[in-house]
Structure 1
Amino acid sequence: MNLLSVDNATKYWGEKPLYENISFGIQQGQKVALVAKNGTGKSTLLNSIAGKESLDSGEIAINKDITVGLLEQEPKFEEGQNVLDYVLSSDSPILGAVKNYEAALQASTLDYSDAVLKQLDIATAKMEEMKAWDAEARVKQILTAFKIEDTAQKMVSLSGGQQKRVALSKVLIEEPNLLILDEPTNHLDLDMIEWLEEYLTRSKLSILLVTHDRYFLDRICTEIIELVDSTIYTHQGNYSYYIEKKAEREANHAVTVEKAKNLMRKELDWVRRMPKARGTKQKYRMDAFHDLKKKANSGKKDEKVQIQVNMSRLGKKILEFESVYKSFGTKKIVDDFSYIFKRKERVGIVGDNGVGKSTFLNMLTGTESIDEGTITKGETIVYGYYTQKGLSFDEDRKVIDVVRDITENHTMSDGTTLTPLQLLNKFLFTPEKQHSYISTLSGGERKRLYLCTILLKNPNFLILDEPTNDLDLDTLSVLEDFLEEFQGCVIVVTHDRYFMDKLVDHLFIFEGDGVIKDFNGKYSEYRAYLDEVEKQKKQALKEEKKADDKKVVQKTSSKKLSYKEQKEYEALEQEIETLEAKKEELEGKLSDGSVTSPDDIREVSETLGQVMEEVDEKMMRWMELDEIANGG
């Protein structure tokens, strides 16, 4: 079933076209990513599909029998609205019943009056009537996954990251037929991202999303739509397959352009030697020449961000922590931490939100004091600190004025000197964009400008706090290449697992209560380590249970398994192991690009969802029988 059709859509920003005459569609069950550079109107297009923005021309048709849910980059909510009201502000009668029940339940914890308890009874009866308990359980599951505990909080009191998590919870709870997600992984910690990946993989929802998270793209999407120079390119398969096919497409195009250029040189020689009196054949050849010229000039311009730093000299002594303690009241941030930073070191920082990662970064730079211990900084350190908040730009200033405040002539790593105009060109700000006001920049363009201002200071110790948010994939790739060649120290806090895996040598794991562990490896290796630890714990519990079972065998039980139940109980464990193996096989097919056609991808995704549901059902049944078998 066709859910969405975009036909010849065109949208302008002032006189500049964001996109022109683009067309694509989404079928039921598809999980599609939209990929494009910053400033090309990705968010605007998503808002247009959701009915929040108008097109200048073209048409967007949505199947009248479906519902559409939109996660915006900046959630909007009503004044005075609390979390529960916002999350359950839906036309769904079932969610309405859940909202009334949760509100009555909250009230009953504060007020034990007959009137309040009666309201809870009415709300409970409505839940029974609507058969809304499954929906209530789903609401609790999703809110718990995103660590939303106090649903009585006012939305306005939450941080931007918390508001984004609440908004994501709302759109998942509503379960629309078509889910539109604009940067869904921003402000999520790594555990949340991995939970969301599994949830969306199992879900039968159709999805259109914009994200820079390449692992997320690889594991969720079955199709990539690329918007380049107002042209749509569609790639079946996940992100890895898209990268492969994009490289092939660009290589083929480069060959075609080169052939056209060679032919044009011959034609140009003919045009220059051609007599002034032109016959019909000569006019035809002139027209063909102009067509050839257009084709020869259609080669893709190398519009990549060029990052170079004339890094300040870094001495032998860089930075040393010795027995450092830091806390806020009873909450420990750092407890007896010692470490000596080395040249060319690449450290990733991992931990839940709120454990003190940003405080630790501020301690590195000296903007946050410590309670005990010493931090010794080398005399040659020049920090480049890219913060989550970014630079607070004056909206009424022009882009070029921001750079002029830092430098008028900047010396690059190769010794060349560049003016502010030339510098901004390297960061893909056209002359027109350089003289635009800050207020007209997209989120990604602001982050690119902020990155430019950081690197212009020639740092030798880079601290990057969520550097990947809002940067397009091309800019991320160039930033990664730059950091791999960077000769100074790099400290990275990011939820982008691909970015971290590519760059870091080891991790500081913030476990909470001031504990920081040094893990020698990349993030994917750390996750594999955690999985192995969890596997060993389960095995230990299994062995312990077997030992307990031997003791229980001799005891009488009020209820025993029937012969049929005993056979079922013995078979279930093997069935669950077989299903888990099948699940891993299907997940592998989706992630390694071996399945490419839309029908095959959809079939594998649906089969994966069914297998996961079957695992859950059999596990629940095994637990029931196990409880009876062991006299529970």
Structure 2
Amino acid sequence: MVEVMAHLLGAEALHFEYPTQQVLKSVTMGVSAGDRIGIVGRNGDGKSTLMKLLVGKLEPDAGQVTVRSDTTIGMLDQSDAVDTTLTVGQSVVGDLAEHEWASDRKIRDVIQGLVSDLDWEAEVGSLSGGQRRRVALARLLIGDWDILALDEPTNHLDVEGIAWLADHVKRRWARNAGGLLVITHDRWFLDEVCNQTWEVHDGIVEPFEGGYAAYVLQRVERDRMAAAAESKRQNLMRKELAWLRRGAPARTSKPKFRVDAATQLIEDVPPVRNGIELQRLAVARLGKDVVDIEEASVSYGDHEVLDNITWRIGPGERTGILGANGAGKSTLLGLVTGDIMPTSGRVKHGKTVQIAMLDQQFSQLEDIGADRVREVLAQTKTTFTVDGKDHTPAQLLERLGFQRQHLSARVQELSGGQKRRLQLLLLLLSEPNVIVLDEPTNDVDSDMLAAMEDLLDSWPGTLIVVSHDRYLLERVTDQQYAILNKRLRHVPGGVDEYLRLSKEADAHHGSNDTSSAAGQQQETQRLSGSERRSAQKELSAVERRLPKLQQEIDAVQQQMAAQDPSDFQGLQEQAQQLKELEAQKDQVEERWLELSELLD
């Protein structure tokens, strides 16, 4: 007997456009009980617009959305704001008495999973942007909803937080109850949670069965059957499929698609990386010595961040670093790059080592903000070899999804995703033999991630990646290390082993830790005179930076207010610039809070 799922929501002939862009044209879709739908597509193609139309936050220009009368919908918007005058507790549980929410297992689980590290009595206004985002998500998840619509819910979550959210969503409803709509660039999350994928492109919404892995296969088949003109994109996805089938069989065992079709499609696709050849080239460029960290510890006053770390990084190694927020990943990267000196122990760099780092703040682009992209590329080396073929810088940018018309734009006018493409290109063209990537997935969509991974596949050198995106870690690295209890530990079982070890460590500390938060704070405050002066100097620099960022934000907001409402592309670019500035301000505010607590 075929089981019929209850219909929760339907959209018929939806049409929506801005003055200069048609976003959706005659889209008809539906959500039934049991649907777990991932929405994917390039940045700017209409994913968030589609979600807002479906939940009633936007009105379509034509067509209609029909919701079953008793269906409740909860949404996490990218711009969701929390009342900054409320405490964390008031924001999350509202007027519920403590005995009411504390006795509710679901509410306790949400609090533990998302906001257990926050002061329950702290005002939301004192939190960083990422912490406020977690408060907003917790507030939403404690409610009872028939449909959850989540727009980038994994932003500001670490690996543990993302794993918790995936588990929560899977347990939230019975198998044939509830509906989920989720927009995320986290491909592991899509695979773990979703049973359908909607791709938004060219004004339409194309449905696929299964999560990300199944979507990749079906998209390759679609492009092949249609003899798509975009051969570069097709080949990229075939390479991605080859990795999914050969390197991560567990991913493709769950979706309901034909494994023989996948095997046939990739039979002529070589492995994503020729490990032996890359190793040979890496040794030739680097020699045998890269970076040796020997019995190194790093402390700030009495607060120890890393304890007795020994790590010998070899030529051609591709390593992912795992760890919770605040575990010391950035400090470890500082030891590798030489920006941080160990309190004890030593760090030795090989004589031929040239390290390049892609950071979260676009610091490599600060001095060229007023230059045009074309001018910047003219100053770089003329060719770069990928898969045995020479490419010009402009061709590489195009391979990364950069549009030719943007070559004439000034660097400071680019969107966050465009800046990330340019940042990566300039890093590769600088010819380093060691690359360090610190959260490289910010501001980029899944197509850009696939292109980035493709370039890194043929790069012959040592690669170190810190990212909360476990799909990226598993895709571009061959081994993972984790920072647990201030120590660096090899985790042969990858992210799954790390999550198990982290959970065990949390349970152990939870049963033995009797110190108060105030006591822990006092421990971190015992600074020597030189350490206090150094922290004070950094705090002063941060305090000077904050008002400048606010001025830039105010200027963009004024430009948007004065902008011609019909210039949608201009408004969209300014909105992206505003988002990027606000993200920078969040990070600077977070550092200000850390330094202020240290110096109190």
Closer, same or farther in 2 for the Cα pair 1:405/1:228, shift >3 Å? Answer: closer
Closer, same or farther in 2 for the Cα pair 1:191/1:463, shift >3 Å? Answer: same
Q: Please name the residue that 2:431 is paired with.
A: 458
Secondary structure of the corresponding residue to residue 174 of structure 1: coil
Q: Please name the residue that 2:448 is paired with.
A: 475
Secondary structure of the corresponding residue to residue 369 of structure 1: coil
* Structure 2 counterpart of 1:190, from 148, 159, 162: 159
Q: Please name the residue that 1:376 is paired with.
A: 348
CA contact (8 A) 1:9 1:58 kept: yes
Alignment of 1:440-459 (within 5 A): 443-459=416-432
Closer, same or farther in 2 for the Cα pair 1:199/1:394, shift >3 Å? Answer: same
RMSD of aligned C-alpha atoms?
3.7
Closer, same or farther in 2 for the Cα pair 1:97/1:159, shift >3 Å? Answer: closer
CA contact (8 A) 1:501 1:524 kept: no
Secondary structure of the corresponding residue to residue 156 of structure 1: helix
Q: Please name the residue that 2:39 is paired with.
A: 34
Secondary structure of the corresponding residue to residue 192 of structure 1: helix
CA contact (8 A) 1:406 1:453 kept: no
Q: Structure 2 unaligned runs (5+)?
A: 1-5, 237-271, 273-277, 509-600
| CA displacement 1:568-606 (0-9 Å, x = unmatched) | xxxxxxxxxxxxxxxxxxxxxxxxxxxxxxxxxxxxxxx
Query: What TM-score does the superposition give when structure 2 sets the normalisation length?
Result: 0.66
- Counterpart Cα distance in 2 of 1:316 and 1:392: 29
* Structure 2 counterpart of 1:333, from 305, 329, 336: 305
CA contact (8 A) 1:197 1:220 kept: yes
The residue identity in structure 1 corresponding to 2:205 is: I
- Counterpart Cα distance in 1 of 2:7 and 2:353: 58
- Would you say 1:203 and 2:203 are equivalent positions? no
Identity of aligned residues (%): 30
* Structure 2 counterpart of 1:418, from 392, 397, 407: 392
Closer, same or farther in 2 for the Cα pair 1:145/1:23, shift >3 Å? Answer: same
CA contact (8 A) 1:505 1:521 kept: no
CA contact (8 A) 1:318 1:378 kept: yes
1:42 Cα offset (Å)? 1.7
- Counterpart Cα distance in 1 of 2:397 and 2:235: 9
Q: Please name the residue that 1:519 is paired with.
A: 491
Alignment of 1:342-421 (within 5 A): 342-391=314-363, 400-401=372-373, 404=376, 407=379, 410-413=382-385, 416=390, 418=392, 421=394
Closer, same or farther in 2 for the Cα pair 1:361/1:397, shift >3 Å? Answer: closer
- Counterpart Cα distance in 2 of 1:61 and 1:431: 41
- Would you say 1:163 and 2:143 are equivalent positions? no
Q: Structure 1 unaligned runs (5+)?
A: 89-95, 103-123, 255-297, 538-632
The residue identity in structure 1 corresponding to 2:297 is: Y
CA contact (8 A) 1:444 1:471 kept: yes
* Structure 2 counterpart of 1:141, from 98, 109, 112: 109
CA contact (8 A) 1:34 1:227 kept: yes
Secondary structure of the corresponding residue to residue 335 of structure 2: helix
Alignment of 1:528-543 (within 5 A): none
Alignment of 1:270-289 (within 5 A): none
Secondary structure of the corresponding residue to residue 202 of structure 1: helix
Alignment of 1:167-316 (within 5 A): 167-204=136-173, 205-254=178-227, 299-300=229-230, 302-303=232-233, 313-316=285-288
Kindly name which structure, 1 or 2, has the bigger radius of gyration based on alpha carbons. Answer: 1
Q: Please name the residue that 1:317 is paired with.
A: 289
1:211 Cα offset (Å)? 1.8
1:449 Cα offset (Å)? 3.6
Secondary structure of the corresponding residue to residue 33 of structure 1: strand
Q: Please name the residue that 1:71 is paired with.
A: 76
* Structure 2 counterpart of 1:45, from 45, 50, 71: 50
- Counterpart Cα distance in 2 of 1:395 and 1:174: 47
- Counterpart Cα distance in 2 of 1:438 and 1:183: 26
Aligned residues: 452
- Counterpart Cα distance in 2 of 1:384 and 1:321: 18
CA contact (8 A) 1:349 1:509 kept: yes
Closer, same or farther in 2 for the Cα pair 1:45/1:444, shift >3 Å? Answer: farther
The residue identity in structure 2 corresponding to 1:320 is: D
- Counterpart Cα distance in 2 of 1:224 and 1:170: 26
- Would you say 1:504 and 2:477 are equivalent positions? yes
- Counterpart Cα distance in 2 of 1:442 and 1:187: 20
Closer, same or farther in 2 for the Cα pair 1:45/1:150, shift >3 Å? Answer: same
Query: What TM-score does the superposition give when structure 1 sets the normalisation length?
Result: 0.63
1:209 Cα offset (Å)? 0.5
Secondary structure of the corresponding residue to residue 495 of structure 1: coil
- Counterpart Cα distance in 1 of 2:380 and 2:318: 32
